[in-house]
Structure 1
């Protein structure tokens, strides 16, 4: 081995142990690792990194790097992947199940044990190796390397990769846990609230006052439905209902703060342009989605209350269990308006204040003044035309 290669390999080890404090992204570290391995004299032609991230919509992420690429190609991996024939007939299954290294010289003609080897050979690769990346708490991920060097990897190359993998595993675990924390927080408290929490807003009572358009939705006849139908059916209806409401809210820039049984609370901060108009667009899109369901196995009907005003946004709860949410009279009024939808036989009720703020009187019918529980004065109520 030349002196330059020895220096490059020593530099790579130093970089993994001390040179990555400012790089938060495991994918970028993976690409840099591949480039540094080439600098260290290992003729990498392809590499993949497989992470289990347990996102609500997918099991993991697969990064594919080929020599000359500036970035890795990123693919989402579905939860059912491990039941597929492709996975069952792959070296990935062996590595994940056993925790052992898998290696195959692939310059010879097949058939090989795993079909992927024939695919790699057709693209000019001559050798392939896969290793587990074991993180704490029994979490196992996977990394693979391939070369197109005649004769495959040298034994000393494989030995060096084995040497660096424990360091790479440690480095990626730190980044992956940070990513997982962000994913879980976004999933359970929303994008804006998750960033606030990660920035340190974890003290009970901490928060801010902001102006926002508020919407509260509630599914009709849910008590009757849950009493008559099987649990799995009820959960399926709830999920379909929330999809039809949540997707437009997120598409139009709103933030869902809470699912409350069969209800939903969302806000559109007025710091963003056209917040009130975007809330109305989201409401209309949600009702349009329910009207065009096919097939309508169970009718989905829901009421919506809409208001605008100041809310207190922050941490509320017990000493050990906090909820990042909004409270205040404006939220209470939106809830009361939702409750009125049954009595007034109109699915969407909006306050007079919201109509003024949104300039949407042409889209509503004024239903006059109504006494609202918890409010001293009668309030003007409008119904949105759908």
Structure 2
């Protein structure tokens, strides 16, 4: 590969990294340009850690024989534990343990037993194998994202030339930097969505972070909690309690998300969400869809737990509609992107009334008015009640199961 071609590929990687091209597209464009420049790679794999509650790492796999382009894979934390023996037997682990940044293994007459992948590559006609590890700066990285690992192989007679290896050393360093940039951008999106909610996270990343900057919206409000959380927290071993709470939260959060809602706050077992649709009637229908989903899945969870002799629960839910302030509230050092206003206080107080009126799901008059005519049959008017901290009495409707 001549110097002009090498510089052109390097410039392309830097430009696309600055523009935020996805990891899979970076690898695809990079590998195709290497081959066009005369470096005859046939198979490539890159691996990089991520910061996510479920995902441990990601990989991009490129193969000249795959006409559909490279494949992107996410590896869960459970997979990482199960495959720990594979990691310990890999060239990457060997390099990590021995402080190596590269490993070159010509495959002609190579020892198949050295690493598991060597025999596989030889059987597929590969002649050379080159592995690189790029450190990402230790304490300056996020979480445990410390290195980007990559492997490169060819089937050309004689394997990689010295010029090929020199080109890979130079160019893959730039690729690793671009991959790091794309990966950190994705991590930022994932984290703000996980900890703030999908819509608040999107708004924060768009730059809506000014303290006190809020907008007034009309929205459908959801507040739910576990029926017997307090008693369970006093009697159940902490590990079992957290597992139970996670099962409950997973049901509610996934149901709300699947119906198009956004989770704004988790307070112990309490979950505050909004359905911020353009059409309030559509928002109400979405909330009822989520409620039905939660009811069904909680029943399934209780059945499984009963069979195992474990404690069960039900969900107390309040549904309301009203005007709220939506945006940044807090101090310069700690902000929360949430909703505030009388309607928020009312929906929380309504959920607390479930115990008093012996109902699991309550709706306000404002919410019930949004239901279509056939939907109104699902509500039973319980009368008006004085909610704690609310001046006027509120009419409450029970949602028939």
Indicate the SS of the match to 1:171. Answer: helix
Quick one: higher RCO (CA 8 Å, sep 6+), 1 or 2?
2
| Equivalence for 2:76 | 78
**1:277 offset after TM fit, Å?**
0.8
Could you tell me how far apart the structure 1 residues matched to 2:191 and 2:164 are? 38
| Equivalence for 2:34 | 37
Indicate the SS of the match to 2:18. Answer: coil
| Equivalence for 1:116 | 117
Gapped regions of structure 2 (runs ≥ 5)? 140-145
State the Cα RMSD in Å: 1.9
Contact persistence 1:96–1:141 (CA under 8 A):
no
- 2:305 aligned to which of 286, 295, 298: 295
Contact persistence 1:63–1:75 (CA under 8 A):
yes
The answer to whether residue 288 in structure 2 is matched with residue 280 in structure 1 is: yes
- 1:271 aligned to which of 241, 263, 278: 278
- 2:186 aligned to which of 172, 179, 195: 179
Could you tell me how far apart the structure 1 residues matched to 2:283 and 2:7 are? 55
**1:279 offset after TM fit, Å?**
0.7
**1:254 offset after TM fit, Å?**
0.7
**1:224 offset after TM fit, Å?**
2.1
| Equivalence for 2:328 | 315
**1:230 offset after TM fit, Å?**
2.1
| Equivalence for 2:142 | none
Could you tell me how far apart the structure 1 residues matched to 2:218 and 2:13 are? 46
Indicate the SS of the match to 1:56. Answer: coil
Range 332-341 or range 148-157, more displaced? 148-157
1:76-111, CA deviations, whole angstroms, 9 ceiling, x for partnerless residues?
A: 112141552222222232234434312322344763
**1:190 offset after TM fit, Å?**
1.2
1:207-264, CA deviations, whole angstroms, 9 ceiling, x for partnerless residues?
A: 2111211110111222222222222111111101101111111111111011111110
Aligned length: 383
- 2:152 aligned to which of 145, 153, 170: 145
Q: 1:214 to 1:116 in 2, by over 3 A?
A: same
1:170-212, CA deviations, whole angstroms, 9 ceiling, x for partnerless residues?
A: 2222222222111111110111111111111111111211121
The answer to whether residue 379 in structure 2 is matched with residue 364 in structure 1 is: yes
**1:37 offset after TM fit, Å?**
1.2
Please give the residue correspondences for 1:1-386 in structure 2 after superposition, counting only pairs within 5 Å: 5-18=2-15, 20-67=17-64, 69=67, 71-80=69-78, 81=80, 84=83, 85-97=85-97, 98-108=99-109, 111-137=112-138, 139-271=146-278, 274-293=282-301, 294-296=304-306, 297-359=310-372, 360-386=375-401
Q: 1:231 to 1:366 in 2, by over 3 A?
A: same
TM (norm. structure 1) is: 0.93
Q: 1:115 to 1:241 in 2, by over 3 A?
A: same
Could you tell me how far apart the structure 2 residues matched to 1:368 and 1:17 are? 66
Could you tell me how far apart the structure 1 residues matched to 2:394 and 2:161 are? 80
**1:321 offset after TM fit, Å?**
0.3
